[in-house]
Amino acid sequence: MIQELSSTEFRPVENEPDATRVRFRHRYRTGTTSAAQRSQRAEWADAAKGVCIILVVLWHVVVKDYLQFDWHVPVPVPGLWGTLGEQFLPLRMPLFFTISGVFAANAAQRPWRVVARSRIAGFLYLYAVWLLIHTAILAAAPELPTDRATSPLGLLEQLTITPSNLWYLYALALYFTIAKATRRVPRVLVLVPAAVLSAVAAAGLLDTPGNRAGLYQNLIFFLAGLYLRPQIHRWAATATRRRLVLTSVAYLLALAAMAVAGAQQWFGVWPAVSVVAVIFGITAAARLARWATLSNPLARLGRITLPIYVIHMPVLALLHRLLVVPVSGLGRPAQGLIVLGYPVLLTGLVIALSLGIHRGLLAVRARWLFALPGSRRVEAAG
């Protein structure tokens, strides 16, 4: 019988940028994590985060760059990439927030003064700093189809009520506030309203300009990860091949049924499909963790999602400005050679450049871009 692991065994380590604590100087000088430190984390969860951040970048590459080109190829490959990306929408951010909640469980129990500075203020600081950076750089690539502030009033709106593409950071600050404020409230009285909010937003019954939809829809998954951490770890620890097959089939059937019925905006359908997707994602990540050759690189990537998340959009914007005209101007034979693999190649390039830029910024002591100044550590449940 597999015993339930204690909370200590799953306590996030201190030197990883998306764990409960991060010490940037140590983590990025070494580029590795010791075996003892790795044992404190669930490897499957880091691998899942690695997959999620790849899917985030891939989706942005597809919809903001790839599908904006003028393709002359005779087969509908670009459309197929767009359709494929849509199938991961119920999985990508719900799974990301579920794991964030799992990693945040210990931090949410700390005193208000600790949570307020290390989590709430820390995430809001990162959001504000990178929003200003994004706003400045995206102004140089106006053809990239993405949310951006084009006026002081628009910037103020993104800072306060309508988060930008960096809404994940904004959401974490808000979610920690809610989790901390309701820690003594019966869980059902927190989870049920969060589930209803998710269903209402997904059904289009609530005004959701900008990225408010994601903000409303994913609170339930963060709270589920926070409250159900022991059950989630137990589910992952007992994942079998049979369960992987069953959950993958369930996810595919849910996607197919939703698409055939056109039920994406039926009340409760999208959150329900996302729940199925998260269950599949946890199972798949747990099985993947058994293959060290593949899971280890993904887990390493999953421990450094913060710099990828905040840097990749400006990198993509500049690359799009450089590539849109020449790629659109290529003849049919040349486009035929790159149309299938372009999203994969550019996703890899964007991630590599983001990590390279991050290392460069740390080398010139710009750690203030990745941590709230005045403290040795910054909390980040990424």
Q: How many CA atoms lie within 13 A of 365 on its CB side?
A: 0
- For the cut 90, the answer to whether the pLDDT of residue 245 exceeds it is yes
Q: Which residue has the higher pLDDT, 32 or 82?
A: 82
Which residue bears the tokens 């990198």?
Answer: 315
In this prediction the pTM is 0.88
pLDDT value at residue 374: 75
Own/partner contacts of 368-375, CB < 8 Å, gap of 24 or more, are 368/129, 369/129, 369/130, 369/133, 370/17, 370/24, 370/126, 370/306, 370/307, 370/310, 371/22, 371/24, 371/122, 371/126, 372/117, 372/118, 372/121, 372/122, 372/125, 372/126, 375/117, 375/118
- For the cut 80, the answer to whether the pLDDT of residue 12 exceeds it is no
User: How do residues 23-57 score in pLDDT, each as one tens digit?
Assistant: 333 333 434 444 444 444 689 999 999 999 999 99
- For the cut 90, the answer to whether the pLDDT of residue 230 exceeds it is yes
Own/partner contacts of 148-156, CB < 8 Å, gap of 24 or more, are 155/131
How sure is the predictor about 165, in pLDDT bands with cuts at 50, 70 and 90?
A: very high
pLDDT value at residue 281: 98
| Chain mean position to CA 24 | 20
- For the cut 70, the answer to whether the pLDDT of residue 17 exceeds it is no
Contact 302, 122 (CB under 8 A): no
Region 47-73: mean pLDDT is: 97
Close Cβ partners of 260 (under 8 Å, ≥ 6 residues apart): none
- For the cut 60, the answer to whether the pLDDT of residue 110 exceeds it is yes
- For the cut 60, the answer to whether the pLDDT of residue 375 exceeds it is no
Region 179-191: mean pLDDT is: 96
- For the cut 50, the answer to whether the pLDDT of residue 64 exceeds it is yes
The tokens of 371 are what? 């941590």
Region 136-156: mean pLDDT is: 94
Amino acid 49 reads: K
Nearest to 148 by CA among 320, 315, 317: 317
User: How do residues 314-340 score in pLDDT, each as one tens digit?
Assistant: 999 999 999 999 999 999 999 999 999
| Chain mean position to CA 146 | 17
| Chain mean position to CA 350 | 15
pLDDT value at residue 164: 96
pLDDT value at residue 29: 41
Could you give the C-alpha distances from 374 to 15, 112, 213, 296, in angstroms and in order?
Answer: 17, 18, 33, 33
> Please, what is the average pLDDT of the chain?
89
pLDDT value at residue 14: 34
Contact 45, 99 (CB under 8 A): yes
How sure is the predictor about 378, in pLDDT bands with cuts at 50, 70 and 90?
A: very low
Question: Rounded to the nearest 5 degrees, what angle is found at the Cα of 280, between the Cα atoms of 278 and 282?
Answer: 70
Nearest to 280 by CA among 97, 41, 48: 48
User: How do residues 337-370 score in pLDDT, each as one tens digit?
Assistant: 999 999 999 999 999 999 999 999 999 999 999 9
C-alpha to C-alpha distance for 247 and 270, rounded to whole angstroms: 17
Question: Rounded to the nearest 5 degrees, what angle is found at the Cα of 375, between the Cα atoms of 162 and 167?
Answer: 15
Nearest to 350 by CA among 65, 122, 116: 65
